[in-house]
Amino acid sequence: MNYHEALKKIWNKCPFCAIDENIKIYDYASVYMTIARAPYWPDHLLIIPKRHVDSLFDLTIEEDDEIQGLVRAGIKMLKKLWYSDLSILVREWMATWKSIPHLHYHIIPNINIWSANSNWEREFLDDNKAKEAIDRILKVKI
């Protein structure tokens, strides 16, 4: 299933407010880390506030602090998987091609994400592929 077909199926609810507990890497008081179900690159991580907020400006100090801690943890884990470059991406407002309004930080292995997926249609990982991705990440969890 491609990403946009998957999004249409779940469009009536926010996928980041109802996250699958089986694919959480870190579960902090106000934010969590998971894998991207529609990765730009294998081992693409997401950091998401538990509270539904659309903008960076809506974050509390606690949420902001926990996000920064998880950004650092994500970078360290990806280095353990031998990635030498990565991109951190946050889209603010929908004109940036943000497909899910709920604020989320991407940590994407490798820096040239756009040419890596030149047709702009990402695969939506089924449960088995998501489990494989989460197992790979959990082996290097710090």
Catalog residues that contact Zn ion under the rule CB under 5 A: 14, 16-17, 52, 102
As measured in angstroms, the least distance from the Cβ of 19 to Zn ion is 9
Of 102 and 131, which CB lies nearer to Zn ion in the complex structure?
Answer: 102
Cβ-closest position to Zn ion = 14
Residue 24, helix vs strand vs coil:
strand
As measured in angstroms, the least distance from the Cβ of 52 to Zn ion is 3
**Cβ-based burial of 101 (10 A; exposed 0-12, middle 13-18, buried ≥19):** middle
Of 10 and 142, which CB lies nearer to Zn ion in the complex structure?
Answer: 10
Cα separation, 47 vs 67, whole angstroms: 7
Nearest Cα to Cα of residue 44 among 99, 125, 121, 115? 125
As measured in angstroms, the least distance from the Cβ of 117 to Zn ion is 24
